Amino acid sequence: MTGTQGRPVGGDGGDGGARRRSTDPGDPARGDTVAAVVGQWRTVRPDLDTAPMEIIGRVNRCAALLQQAEDAPLRRAGLSRPEFDLLGALRRTGRELTPSELARETFSSGAAVTKRLKQLTERGLVERRGDTRDRRVAHVRLTDAGRDLVDGILPEQLAYEGAALSALDADRQAELAVLLGELLSRLEGHMRPVRA
């Protein structure tokens, strides 16, 4: 959505100027960055239905803010998020995976997985072995150091995520999880994912 990923954009609370934004961050009527952006679009293009921006823009903005904070423990460990996703896939599946399987698990391209595996292998976090029946196939698994690294970082990430969601009570969190799950399931069934 145009204007929702970067710095906060000035403007009204998203209702075309009918209300002013409060300066109190605890005031639920204050609006948010996306509300301001939607309000600006409604002013210059009142003919357009900007309702989808209210959802997509907020999902994108939340993802960007959460990822910035979540990446802090990864940076301290010298890992990128895509590298950690590979390690996490190996840890959560509990078995060896081929590079092709890792690409599917992490929504990545084969070339990107190959590059990341090379870096992780050099760091001693994963190891590869050849397939006894097909020399073109490799099997990847975590080393003890890789497993320890994932197990050390994951609790810190989950603690951050829990704190980030604490503004919503348990019932609201459960409701949000269901709604996002329904949307994601529909999108996965109709849209081809972009692999990085």
pLDDT tens track for 138-175 = 899 999 999 999 999 999 888 888 888 999 999 999 99
DSSP letter (8 states) at residue 195: P
Decide the pairing of beta strands 126-130 and 138-142.
antiparallel
Average pLDDT score over residue span 61-89: 88
The answer to whether residues 13 and 65 belong to one domain is yes
**What was the pLDDT predicted at 195?**
60
The answer to whether residues 22 and 6 belong to one domain is yes
The answer to whether residues 110 and 65 belong to one domain is no
> Is 30 in a helix, a strand, or coil?
helix
The answer to whether residues 45 and 98 belong to one domain is no
| Whether the predicted pLDDT of 8 surpasses 80 | no
> Is 115 in a helix, a strand, or coil?
helix
Q: Which residue has the higher pLDDT, 92 or 194?
A: 92
- Count CB neighbours of 14 within 10 A: 24
CA 1 to chain centre: 16
- Count CB neighbours of 99 within 10 A: 20
CB 126 within 8 A of CB 118: no
pLDDT tens track for 89-103 = 999 999 999 999 999
Average pLDDT score over residue span 64-71: 80
| Whether the predicted pLDDT of 25 surpasses 50 | no
Q: What is the rounded CA–CA span in Å between residue 27 and residue 78? A: 38
The answer to whether residues 171 and 193 belong to one domain is yes
Q: What is the domain range of residue 154?
A: 79-196
The answer to whether residues 44 and 120 belong to one domain is no
The answer to whether residues 194 and 108 belong to one domain is yes
**What was the pLDDT predicted at 43?**
95
Mean model confidence pLDDT for the chain: 83
Which of 26, 49, 76 is where one domain is finished? 76
Which of 76, 104, 128 is where one domain is finished? 76
**What was the pLDDT predicted at 20?**
40
**What was the pLDDT predicted at 142?**
97
**What was the pLDDT predicted at 41?**
94
The answer to whether residues 145 and 185 belong to one domain is yes
Number of domains observed in the structure of the chain: 2
Residue 118: CATH number of its domain: 1.10.10.10
pLDDT band at 192 (very low <50, low <70, confident <90, very high): low
**What was the pLDDT predicted at 194?**
57
Q: What is the rounded CA–CA span in Å between residue 1 and residue 193? A: 18
Q: Which residue has the higher pLDDT, 149 or 66?
A: 149
Classify residue 193 as left (phi > 0), alpha (psi -120 to 50) or beta: beta
32 closest CA partner among 52, 3, 66, 70: 3
The answer to whether residues 194 and 102 belong to one domain is yes
| Whether the predicted pLDDT of 27 surpasses 90 | no
Q: Which residue has the higher pLDDT, 129 or 26?
A: 129
